[in-house]
């Protein structure tokens, strides 16, 4: 009997819900984004359900939207990811801890140290979500007058990846002898000085932290642009994708995994997890009523601001009851812009309708019973549309609890989701290989072989 493919599940937890009406839903925690007690409870609930990872997106500026919309946003204040995930590492044991860190507005030495530290603190559960940063206002917080050009951001990101992973390999796995009798703490022959000098970066090294428990923290990426797909095919181990339907998911799945094979990688070296907004009801009508109630809480100014961000273009002057006009290309996220334009075209939406969807959630959504949701997830898995999903909860805590208490047991009953974690590290649980040290080889593997 052929063993069933196993579903991988991440939880998108910053913001705790992307929906702008989430904090106003009856019973929701209005301060969930900025309340450690709540976030600790969410992480422990997700771990009890055997989720792969708790994922914190990040922003380096207040969202670039008018104050009329910003005043209604529950994402205006959130914790810095490394501080929060380090705290959550102490109150969890198995769930992965993934944070966004920008290759455009940070230094590779900082990034390498933070993720190496988190990996050691958590016992091998860290993941790095590589982003190039799409919000142009971030530039103003880092001494620049304008945002770095899109393709240049990706060129820098590729070099940035090489530097960070090179820094993680500064010490061989067996470098630290700690021999009190001889007084030798580490073997200098097992230390490598990177001495990188490239087009965008100059970093000497070595990193002043031992090699991470996982070798490297798991590399996570998002983005569907040509540059984003190419970077992901070369470097990503997990991809947080955004697709509206199974056909789009299948095309992306085949394209990126095919590209990865051209770089000598296995298709299994990458796990593709589309974002999925999930609302659970005891029957389909109840689930749809929850969705309708949630969407009714979106203000037009919030929706039009979300639309403007997605398009990279101010939509506030558009005729609300007309079709979306032609939108010129900008320096913002290309994949986000194209996705919204396609949505408006395919469903013949007016600007007002499109804003309502963007202020709520316009992407892939599973709205139904535990059985119908499990049916859809299993179909995506079997049809190679995904390796799993990055779950987006509609409101907290009830939306999270509904999924954990009702959908997860149904997935487990079908034999497509774990009942126990496979190992102690994020890599082990995702079925990803530990990367060998590029400068010293895999010392741990050598020791095992010799033994």
Q: Binding site: which residues?
A: 58, 100, 150, 154, 225
- CA 418 – CA 282 distance, rounded (Å): 24
The DSSP output letter for 394 is S
- CA 191 – CA 193 distance, rounded (Å): 7
Q: Are 380 and 418 in contact (CB under 8 A)?
A: no
Name every residue whose Cβ is closer than 8 Å to that of residue 85 and which is 6 or more positions away in sequence. 54, 56, 97, 99, 118, 122, 126
Long-range contacts of 352-357 (CB under 8 A, 24+ apart): 352/300, 352/320, 352/321, 354/307, 354/324, 355/300, 355/303, 355/304, 355/306, 355/307, 355/315, 355/320, 356/295, 356/298, 356/300, 356/303, 357/303
Q: Are 163 and 171 in contact (CB under 8 A)?
A: no
Collapsed DSSP state (helix, strand, coil) of residue 439: coil
The helix-helix angle for 246-262 and 226-235 (nearest 10°) equals 60
Could you tell me which residues are annotated as the binding site for FMN? 58, 100, 150, 154, 225
- CA 219 – CA 97 distance, rounded (Å): 12
- CA 143 – CA 45 distance, rounded (Å): 41
Collapsed DSSP state (helix, strand, coil) of residue 261: helix
What size, in residues, is the chain? 451
φ, ψ dihedrals at 30, nearest 5°: -60, -30
Name every residue whose Cβ is closer than 8 Å to that of residue 338 and which is 6 or more positions away in sequence. 224
Name every residue whose Cβ is closer than 8 Å to that of residue 183 and which is 6 or more positions away in sequence. none
Collapsed DSSP state (helix, strand, coil) of residue 176: strand
- CA 78 – CA 63 distance, rounded (Å): 12
Collapsed DSSP state (helix, strand, coil) of residue 189: helix
Other C-beta atoms closer than 10 Å to the C-beta of 288 total: 14
Closest Cα to residue 11, out of 362, 389, 361, 364? 389
């Amino acid at each position: 009997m052929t063993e069933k493919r196993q579903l991988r599940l991440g939880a998108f937890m910053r913001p705790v819900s992307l929906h702008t009406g989430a904090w106003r839903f009856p019973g929701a925690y209005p301060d969930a984004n900025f309340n450690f007690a709540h976030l600790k409870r969410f992480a422990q609930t997700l771990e009890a359900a055997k989720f792969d990872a708790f994922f914190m997106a990040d922003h380096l500026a207040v969202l670039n939207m008018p104050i009329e919309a910003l005043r209604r946003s529950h994402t205006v204040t959130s914790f810095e990811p490394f501080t929060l995930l380090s705290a959550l590492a102490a109150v969890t044991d198995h769930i992965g801890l993934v944070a966004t860190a920008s290759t455009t507005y940070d230094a590779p030495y900082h990034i390498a140290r933070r993720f190496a530290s988190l990996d050691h603190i958590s016992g091998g559960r860290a993941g790095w979500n590589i982003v190039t940063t799409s919000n142009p206002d971030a530039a103003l917080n880092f001494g620049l007058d304008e945002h770095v050009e899109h393709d240049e951001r990706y060129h820098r990101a590729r070099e940035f990846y090489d530097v960070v992973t090179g820094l993680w390999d500064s010490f061989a796995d067996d470098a630290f002898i700690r021999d009190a009798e001889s007084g030798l703490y580490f073997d200098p022959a097992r230390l490598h000085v990177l001495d990188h000098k490239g087009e965008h970066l100059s970093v000497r090294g070595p990193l002043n932290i031992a090699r991470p428990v996982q070798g490297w923290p798991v590399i996570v990426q998002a983005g569907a642009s040509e540059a984003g797909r190419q970077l992901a095919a070369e470097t990503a181990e997990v991809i947080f994708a955004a697709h509206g339907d199974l056909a789009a998911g299948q095309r992306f799945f085949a394209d990126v995994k095919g590209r990865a094979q051209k770089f000598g990688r296995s298709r299994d070296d990458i796990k593709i997890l589309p974002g999925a907004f999930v609302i659970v009801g005891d029957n389909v009508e109840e689930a749809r009523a929850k969705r309708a109630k949630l969407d009714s809480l979106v203000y037009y100014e919030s929706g039009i601001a979300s639309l403007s961000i997605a398009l990279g273009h101010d939509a506030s002057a558009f005729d609300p009851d007309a079709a979306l006009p032609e939108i010129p290309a900008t320096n913002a996220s290309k994949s986000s812009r194209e996705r919204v334009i396609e949505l408006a075209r395919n469903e013949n939406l007016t600007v007002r309708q499109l804003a309502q969807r963007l202020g709520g959630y316009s992407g892939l959504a599973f709205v139904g019973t535990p059985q119908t949701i499990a049916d859809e997830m299993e179909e995506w898995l079997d049809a190679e549309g995904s390796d799993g999903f990055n779950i987006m909860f509609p409101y907290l805590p009830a939306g999270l609890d509904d999924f954990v208490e009702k959908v997860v047991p149904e997935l487990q009953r079908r034999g497509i989701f774990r009942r126990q974690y496979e190992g102690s590290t994020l890599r082990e649980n995702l079925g990803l290989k530990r990367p060998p040290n590029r400068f010293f080889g895999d010392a741990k593997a050598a020791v095992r072989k010799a033994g």
